[in-house]
Amino acid sequence: MADVMTRPEHVATEKRRVPRSTHARIWSKWDKLIVVLMITIPTVIVVALVWFPAVSTVILSFTDWNGIGNIGDMNFVGGQNYVDVTTNYPPFGPAMQHNLIWLVVFFFGPTLLGIFLAALLDRELRGGRIYQSIFFLPVVLSLALVGFIWELIYSRDQGLLNNLFHANVDWFGDPNINLWAVLVASGWRQTGYIMLLYLAGLKSVDPALREAAAVDGAGEVRTFLQVIWPVMRPVNIVILVITVIESLRAFDIVWVINKGRNGLELISTLVTQNVIGEASRVGFGSALATIMIAISTVFITIYLIQVMREQK
Amino acid sequence: MTAAVVGRRRRTRPARVVLQVFLIVMAIGWLFPIAWAVYNSLRDYDFTSAHGYFSFGGFTLKNYVNAWAEGDFGRTFYNSAVITVPSVVLTLLLSASAAYVLARFSFKFNLTLLGLFTAANLLPQQALLVPLFRLFVNIEVPYSISDSGTLYDTYYAVIAVNVAFQTGFCTFVLSNYMKTIPKELTEAALVDGAGAFRQFWQVVLPLCRPALAALATLEITWVYNDFFWAVAFMRTGSKFPVTSSLQNLKGQFFTDYNLLSAGSVIVAIPTLVIFLLLQRHLRAGLTLGATKG
């Protein structure tokens, strides 16, 4: 009886719903205008101030524009800037090498340590929240500030390290070691970030998986490596991409120490020096920036594929 | 069965102790750099130069007073606020409206646009530097707006770039969040005659409050911490944000690390306050962006 009563109504609502999905009839002209503006304005801003400059950088890298004259005065010089960068610019080799070292150290240092800490803290543990907070704390400090804070430890005359070991090492100044000193400082900040991301991933792992592994008699280490790690694949990819991009973007800490000279050359600092320095070499700086764009594009694509797969 | 459980529990106990010891040591090590800065910021320069930094005593608050004055922190904090507040407000407004359209309407370029927004935040900042620099130098504005007659060396330039750079990330986070809001809620509003904008403003946005709070907290820290865009697009020293105060302290008083410690602590205080009061939001913001869930 109740079934018979409700049925027609149900059909009726179904019918009413059909035109609702075709927006044309429900949204007024005013609504449509609003919706178009709501998406267009942000899109225009992002395209104009992010994508247009990025594409322009790539184009400028093939020109000899010096940034002073009229844009019409520039000539296309093909790959000349790239030839100059690779063969006739001494800091380029070291900078590439430093960025690569940065990546390798970030991967084997903060990234793996962050994952390890997340695995340790993802369980009932006395003071677990406090440990998480402590490791997360440096993440809220800017990398520039991290540079200043560590200067108090590294300084040659008054730093803690030299005081403690009665040494006379210029940790941030000696080109043989300053990169490593900087990596310790920025790794200190990065570890908490990775730990946080990984913890969030671990929280979403189905507890039944763990229980099943425990029933099968797997120890904690084996459970993590053979059961948890494989299902964490999406998070692993995100973390890999973040590690690469952060290594490539490293800038602030090095800039506040010595503007990226004397052992601390990075691609990012070379671009900045060439563009906002006294001698602005636009085409040349753009070629350096384009190398950064090329590398990051690969990893942004990986990230997007991963993220868009989750969208479906 | 019970024997096995008891046996396992007994075996794991020493492991737990090792784990706790390891974590305590790591945690102390992690806090140390900040604690060291705070400790030395509270000590007199003459005392530490006589006894070395690895000593105890000579406590004073003088460094904070001096650092505040010599670093011109009153001005630089104001500058940071002038950059941060409009940047965060505009970023959230723009990204919320873009996210609403991307999450609620399906059209041809839906996913493409989402990708365009998402990827924007991952580009290296230096990749945008050359054209933006030239763009701002060449856009002429009245002298009443800018002393230089162009957008270069104005807050507008720094704010605009911050907004553009952060909008992508926030749009991604918010559109994911809005997709979890049941469609029935906006449909009910639609039946009540609410137009697209009222649905957005009165139904969707209030429901997004947790995500907006998380993003606001995160963006305030990020924009406050940003140093690069200010260096790139401004020239006048008196317009720079707080990080530049530290550079002033270092430049003028090369050896006074107590003063520099005090300056570092002053710069850290706003983000530390956010950390202590709003840590939940910070974590939510970061994890919403990187992983779904």
Find, in chain B, the residue whose alpha carbon is nearest to that of A68. B134
User: Could you tell me if B164 lies within 8 Å of chain A, comparing CB atoms?
Assistant: yes
Residue B39 CB burial class (10 angstroms; 0-12, 13-18, ≥19): middle
CA distance A1 to chain B (A): 28
Residue A66: strand, helix, or coil: coil
Find, in chain A, the residue whose alpha carbon is nearest to that of B195. A31
The pLDDT assigned to B100 comes to 94
Q: Which pair of tokens denotes residue A155? A: 């300084």
| C-alpha torsion sign, points A271, A275, A277, A278 | positive
What letter represents residue A85's amino acid? Answer: V
Contact A134 B30 (CB under 8 A): yes
Residue A160: strand, helix, or coil: helix
Nearest alpha-carbon partner for A114 in A140, A99, A130, A132: A132
Extract the residue ranges of chain B whose pLDDT is less than 50. 1-8, 10, 252-253, 292-293
User: Could you tell me if A149 lies within 8 Å of chain B, comparing CB atoms?
Assistant: yes
Q: Which pair of tokens denotes residue B123? A: 């580009």
- Round to whole Å and give the CA distance between B77 and B96: 28
Is the pLDDT score of A198 beyond 50?
Answer: yes
Residue A270: strand, helix, or coil: helix
Q: What does the pLDDT look like over B21-79, one tens digit per residue?
A: 999 999 999 999 999 999 989 998 888 878 877 778 888 899 999 999 988 999 999 99
Q: Indicate the angle between helix axes A112-121 and A178-203, nearest 10 degrees.
A: 40
Which residues in chain A have their CB less than 8 angstroms from residue B102's CB? 39
The pLDDT assigned to B255 comes to 62
- Round to whole Å and give the CA distance between A210 and B260: 49
The mean pLDDT value for A5-24 works out to 42
CA distance B160 to chain A (A): 8
The mean pLDDT value for A17-37 works out to 69
Site of tokens 């399906």: B106
The pLDDT assigned to B71 comes to 87
The pLDDT assigned to A2 comes to 37
Nearest alpha-carbon partner for B137 in B149, B148, B155, B150: B150
The pLDDT assigned to A99 comes to 95
User: Could you tell me if B125 lies within 8 Å of chain A, comparing CB atoms?
Assistant: yes
Which residues in chain A have their CB less than 8 angstroms from residue B109's CB? none
The pLDDT assigned to A189 comes to 95
The pLDDT assigned to B290 comes to 63
The pLDDT assigned to B232 comes to 87
Contact B257 A286 (CB under 8 A): no
The mean pLDDT value for A188-216 works out to 89
Is the pLDDT score of A132 beyond 60?
Answer: yes
Give the H/E segment covering residue B131. Answer: helix B126-138
**CATH number belonging to domain B77-241:** 1.10.3720.10
Label residue A306 by pLDDT band (50, 70, 90). confident
Which residues in chain A have their CB less than 8 angstroms from residue B129's CB? 53, 57, 271-272, 275-276, 285, 289
Q: Which pair of tokens denotes residue B272? A: 């530390």
Q: What does the pLDDT look like over A219-245, one tens digit per residue?
A: 888 888 888 888 888 889 889 999 999
Q: Which of A58-67, A102-111, B9-18 has the lowest mean pLDDT?
A: B9-18
Q: Do A135 and B31 form a contact (C-beta atoms < 8 A)? A: no
Q: What is the DSSP letter of B227?
A: -
User: Could you tell me if A67 lies within 8 Å of chain B, comparing CB atoms?
Assistant: yes
- For chain A, what percent of residues have pLDDT higher than 90? 46
Site of tokens 């503006």: A37
Q: What does the pLDDT look like over B11-20, one tens digit per residue?
A: 557 888 888 9
Of A49, A142, A271, the CB nearest to B164: A49
Q: Which of A16-20, A80-84, B37-41, B90-94 has the lowest mean pLDDT?
A: A16-20
CA distance A173 to chain B (A): 14
Give the H/E segment covering residue B12. Answer: helix B2-41
Contact A200 B290 (CB under 8 A): yes
Which residues in chain B have their CB less than 8 angstroms from residue A121's CB? 23
The pLDDT assigned to B208 comes to 92
Label residue A312 by pLDDT band (50, 70, 90). low
Contact B37 A152 (CB under 8 A): yes
The pLDDT assigned to A10 comes to 41
Find, in chain B, the residue whose alpha carbon is nearest to that of A142. B225
Enter the pTM of the model: 0.87
Domain annotation for chain A: domains and CATH numbers:
92-203+232-311 (1.10.3720.10)
User: Could you tell me if A25 lies within 8 Å of chain B, comparing CB atoms?
Assistant: no
Which site among A49, A99, A249 would you substitute to test the B interface, given the most B Cβ atoms closer than 10 Å to its Cβ? Answer: A49
Q: Do B105 and A34 form a contact (C-beta atoms < 8 A)? A: no
ipTM higher than threshold 0.85: yes
| Residues constituting chain B | 293
The pLDDT assigned to B53 comes to 78
| Residues constituting chain A | 312
- Round to whole Å and give the CA distance between A223 and A229: 9
